[in-house]
Amino acid sequence: MNIRDQFNYNSMEGSDDKLMYAEQVSLPELAREVGTPLYVYSSEALIERYKAIAKTNPNGLICYSVKANGNISVIRTLAQHGAGADVVSGGELYRALQAGVSPEKIVFAGVGKTEDEMGAALDANIFQINIESEPELEQLNSVALNRGTTAPVAVRVNPDVDANTHNKIATGRSGDKFGVPYEKAIHLYKKIESLKGVKATGLATHIGSQLTDLEPFEMAFSKISQLACNLKSKGHQIENIDFGGGLGIRYSSEDEPSLLHYASIVSKAASAAGCRIILEPGRWITAPAGILLTRVIYVKRTEARNFAIVDCAMNDFMRPALYDAWHEIKPVIQTKESPDKETVDVVGPICESGDFLAHDRDLPPLAPGNLLAILNTGAYGASMSSHYNSRIPASEVLVKKKKWSIIRKNSSIEAFVADENIAEWLTE
């Protein structure tokens, strides 16, 4: 796989310093024009990565997992190159449709779809709804009957395979809340036959996220293919298998999983089952296509540690606080005479010790005003941001060659509190 990195250093005219660029746009320029903290995404990286992963499933469908990065311009960039969408809420469905994803390429996953969300999915005429329990199947049946329609469904099966990833993002073990047990699936397909509001179109699974070891995929996909064959032999309609997402990336020292190997596992399972395959990659496409640009506010050197206090925080980017995730941090301006490194914790201004971006990093000695780029933040960055500490989360910019566009402008504190209402008894 030969995907170019789109965040590179280039020399500055008349100076020995080097500046980091996103494609052909310099990050200091973006920081000056738009302000920090700021997510910056590269169109080229999104497109190249989408095309590369699409090759692993040439006869099937790639439904980009919107939860990784739900910005409408990001989804549209991928949709223009053929991507469908995997959505898990009415909000994500709305985004995918606004982005122009065609409904016949949308699958609706998730463990707890409400009646309204089911209704919205049916009204939009999407390709498939993946159900995860018997009560959810019954609910979908009645929502469809009320609308005089039939819902296309796949049952998400929990194959009881440990994805060998972070505990909080493993989803395919029998004790996880996702899917139905393997044995129960047969019963559910029988039930689908007896209900008038639902019809089986496929089978689904998803065992977890950030898998760099491909063996768990192999185990799960082969179990699910066998189940598909078994169901087909009983006369059930299983045209598609949705293998979910989960392909990991290299954040630090992990082994970069091989796309070719992944493709061979997918295609082996596809031919064993004789089904069309749906994949739902999120992170693999968007994570390396984005950086989070932040500015140092203060540097605090103490006996115990050195802290670079920056203007982004866990509300902008939660992965370190939530999963102890490691993300590479680079200075945006590299000076020629890079002095000795200094070990620092890069932390945000939020009032919790859990609010950190990195611990114990060796960086050139930092000073207020310096810009840093936090890498691989195009997935599960902006989409997981919050307003904690009444902070306004980072804006987002999309770059295309020399062009850039603000694709989400963070709102003001006035706009944020405008949704609040003062209880009437407090106004008397």
Q: Determine, following the binding rule CB under 6 A, whether residue 39 of this chain makes contact with ligand LLP.
A: no
Q: Is residue 245 part of the contact set for ligand LLP (CB under 6 A)? A: yes
| 257 touches ligand LLP by CB under 6 A | no
Distance CA 334, CA 371 (A): 10
Give residue 418's region: left, alpha or beta (phi > 0; psi -120 to 50).
alpha
Interface with ligand LLP in residues 319-338 (CB under 6 A): 319, 323
Sites for ligand LLP among residues 157-196 (CB under 6 A): 169
Angle (CA) 140-141-142 rounded to 5° is 90
Q: Which stretch binds ligand LLP (CB under 6 A): 27-35, 280-288, 295-303, 387-395?
A: 280-288
Tokens found for residue 291: 């950086």
Q: Which helix (H) or strand (E) holds 138?
A: helix 134-146
The residue among 180 and 296 lying less far from ligand LLP, judged by its C-beta, is 180
Rounded CA separation 219/223 (Å) = 6
| CB of 218 vs ligand LLP, minimal distance in Å | 17
359 C-beta neighbours (distance < 10 Å), count: 14
**Considering the complex, what minimum distance in angstroms separates the CB of residue 304 from ligand LLP?**
30
Q: Least Å distance between CB 283 and ligand LLP? A: 4
Segment interacting with ligand LLP, rule: CB under 6 A, options 61-69, 89-97, 117-125, 398-406: 61-69
Q: Which residue has the tokens 């620092």?
A: 344
Backbone φ and ψ of 45, nearest 5°: -65, -40
State both tokens at 368: 């207020």
Structure tokens at 345: 């914790």
Phi, psi of 309 (to 5 degrees): -95, 120
Q: Closest distance between ligand LLP and the C-beta of residue 68, in Å?
A: 5
Nearer to ligand LLP, 296 or 374 (CB): 374
Q: Measured from the CB atom, is 197 or 378 closer to ligand LLP?
A: 378
Q: Kindly state the smallest distance separating residue 246's Cβ from ligand LLP, in Å.
A: 4
Active site residues: 351
Q: Toward ligand LLP, which CB reaches closer, 67 or 400? A: 67
136: contact with ligand LLP by CB under 6 A:
no
Token pair of 155, please? 């049952």
Tell which one of 23, 48, 86, 311 touches ligand LLP (CB under 6 A): 86
Longest Cα–Cα distance of the chain, Å, equals: 76
Residue entry with tokens 């006369």: 235
Binding residues for ligand LLP, rule: CB under 6 A, are 65, 67-68, 86, 109, 169, 206, 209-210, 244-247, 280-284, 319, 323, 380
